[in-house]
Amino acid sequence: MSDLPALLVVFPIFASIVVLLAGLARSRTGWPIAALASVVQVGMALVLGSRGFGDEPVRYVVGGFTAPYGIELVVDGLSATMVVLVAVVSLGVLGYARTAGPRSNPFYATYLLLVAGLTGMSVTGDVFNMYVFLEITGLAAYALVASGKGGRSALAALKYLLVGTFGASLFLLGIGYAYVATGTLNMNDLSAQLAAVGYTSPLVRVAFGLLVVGLFVKIAVFPLHTWQPAAYAGAPDTVSGLISALVSTVSAYALIRIVFSVFTVDFLAANPFARNVLMAGAAVSIVVGSLLAVSQSEIKRLLAYSSVSQFGLIIGAVAVANGTALTGAAIHLVGHAIMKGGLFLTAGLVASTTGARTVDEFEGLGEYLPVGAGSFCVLALAMVGVPPTIGFVGKWYIALGAVEAQAWPLAVVILSSTLLTLAYFARLIERMYFREPVATSSSVETAESKVAIDVATDGTGTPPSMGMWATVVAAAVLAVVLGAAAFEYGQLLEPTIEHLLT
């Protein structure tokens, strides 16, 4: 079992090939195999994750080439969190995908490939290896977005591909600069060598800039978010749930890894400009993302812009760069994944039951779809940051960190982000509960005809199954329950954060 870190990446790739081959013999065998693989993946992730929370990270050398020459896999508290999050969320979304579709075997093969890419990004300790996994994740995500029927999803996927490749290529160029400066690719070794070269060297500064901007594209920070609303809105509901929950999250984890494990806080201290740019990016992303979200009429686009704003908070925590803020970032990454994934799936559930895809169509939803409206409401309030949900704990830590660092402008923006989030979710909650459904009888009729249209156009409009309901309700329950566990998780994470900050 000492090969567990490598197995965790290889296993989903292997399962993906099995799904593809099984599809040649019999179609529609994808779901059971993917579900079985995901259960095994969760088990392995939990075993490895529990080991990652020690005082020292778990290190694994791939293929017997010792670090810094070979590729090293490193599992500390943060990567353990990501690994478990990826495994659990992908299993949960599978529960939703069973009836919501898409059902083809190639879809599930790509699905598992995405899990492999994300897990790889989380455990790798080598920057070039991270680039490769970034591209695997990207390729799988482009293909998944395109798995919806119709030109819209293909167009969204192509846009995502062009912008995403641009970001990943900048990341690669940044690796080139760092390699020129140091001659190494191992993260641990890089941090020592970069310090030896000097943090004010132009090579090191350019490397930092390229790596960070490349990841900003992948995280979808304003103004580099342009791919994201189209991709989330154009993808099938299952895929937008999965991608919104995991892809940006793991990219943000990669940013934390690059900034703190490779460049370290000393780099930020030596280059106040870099820190100011991060802060400015965070503040602009929070404010403009929220404003754009308020002006949307389509639910999925609203949720997409909300992500732009929430990831601003994470960037803010990176810029603040103290223990409290980073703990908050880790908690908010997990919380955002569950809340946003849950919201997208709930929106998909509502759409497949009633056909409501715009803000106006949510009017009176509380009456004729109480469970769906209830879950949406709980998740939305958690996103706003109402205690005792996990959304509250994450934002609380980040805001506290900003105050501790005396970064007052950022602290103000972070606190006001709660109000901004409320601004766009309040519209929805008000429509769901305090407005009469527009002429109930006719709306049911149009709902049914819309379901029919949905089935015809994107194939996702099947009546909801138990699995779909269970996933949505589980996300809402988790958003509340994890809030209680988050403080203890923060303490568990302490050795990891200390490691990151020294």
**Nearest by Cα to 440 from 339, 343, 368, 346:** 368
- Please, which residue, 234 or 316, has the CB nearer to another protein? 234
Instruction: Check: CB of residue 148 under 8 Å from CB of residue 234.
Output: yes
Q: How far is the CB of 334 from another protein (least distance, A)?
A: 29
- Please, which residue, 164 or 241, has the CB nearer to another protein? 164
- Please, which residue, 54 or 176, has the CB nearer to another protein? 176
The gap from C-alpha 306 to its chain's centroid, in whole angstroms, comes to: 13
Which of 142, 263, 305, 392 contacts another protein by CB under 8 A? 142
Stretch that binds another protein, among 45-53, 177-185, 193-201, 214-222 (CB under 8 A): 177-185
Instruction: Check: CB of residue 450 under 8 Å from CB of residue 398.
Output: no
Query: Which H or E run contains 454?
Result: helix 440-457
Query: x/- contact string, 178-217, with another protein (CB under 8 A)?
Result: -xx----x--------------------------------
Q: Which of residues 96-135 bind another protein (CB under 8 A)?
A: 128, 131-132, 135
Strand partners, 75: 58
State yes or no: residue 234 binds another protein (CB under 8 A): yes
Distance CA 48, CA 71 (A): 19
Which of 15, 19, 93, 139 contacts another protein by CB under 8 A? 139
Q: Taking the chain, what is the end-to-end CA distance rounded to the nearest angstrom?
A: 30
Helix 466-492 to helix 323-354 angle, to the nearest 10 degrees?
Answer: 180
- Please, which residue, 155 or 291, has the CB nearer to another protein? 155
Q: At a CB cut-off of 8 Å and minimum separation 6, what does 341 contact?
A: 89, 92, 93, 241, 242, 244, 245, 246, 475
Distance CA 448, CA 439 (A): 14
Count each helix (H run) and each strand (E run) in the chain, helices first: 21, 2
Query: Which H or E run contains 304?
Result: helix 299-320
- Please, which residue, 201 or 442, has the CB nearer to another protein? 201
State yes or no: residue 293 binds another protein (CB under 8 A): no
Which of 4, 67, 161, 472 contacts another protein by CB under 8 A? 161
Helix 323-354 to helix 370-384 angle, to the nearest 10 degrees?
Answer: 160
Residues 309-321 as b/e (b if ≥16 CB within 10 A, e otherwise) read bbbbbbbbbbbbb
State yes or no: residue 489 binds another protein (CB under 8 A): no
Which of 6, 7, 10, 155 contacts another protein by CB under 8 A? 155
Distance CA 160, CA 45 (A): 29
Q: How far is the CB of 495 from another protein (least distance, A)?
A: 33
How many chain residues touch another protein (CB under 8 A)?
29
Which of 154, 371, 415, 492 contacts another protein by CB under 8 A? 154
- Please, which residue, 142 or 253, has the CB nearer to another protein? 142
Q: How far is the CB of 230 from another protein (least distance, A)?
A: 7
State yes or no: residue 459 binds another protein (CB under 8 A): no
- Please, which residue, 214 or 437, has the CB nearer to another protein? 214
Number of other residues whose CB lies within 10 A of the CB of residue 323:
18
Tokens of 335: 């919380």
Distance CA 225, CA 385 (A): 23
Q: How far is the CB of 194 from another protein (least distance, A)?
A: 17
State yes or no: residue 143 binds another protein (CB under 8 A): yes
Instruction: Check: CB of residue 30 under 8 Å from CB of residue 107.
Output: yes
DSSP 8-state assignment for residue 3: T
Which of 32, 43, 70, 150 contacts another protein by CB under 8 A? 150
Which of 176, 209, 467, 495 contacts another protein by CB under 8 A? 176
Which residues form the interface with another protein (CB under 8 A)?
128, 131-132, 135, 139, 142-143, 146, 150-152, 154-155, 157-158, 161-162, 165-166, 169, 172-173, 176, 179-180, 185, 230, 233-234
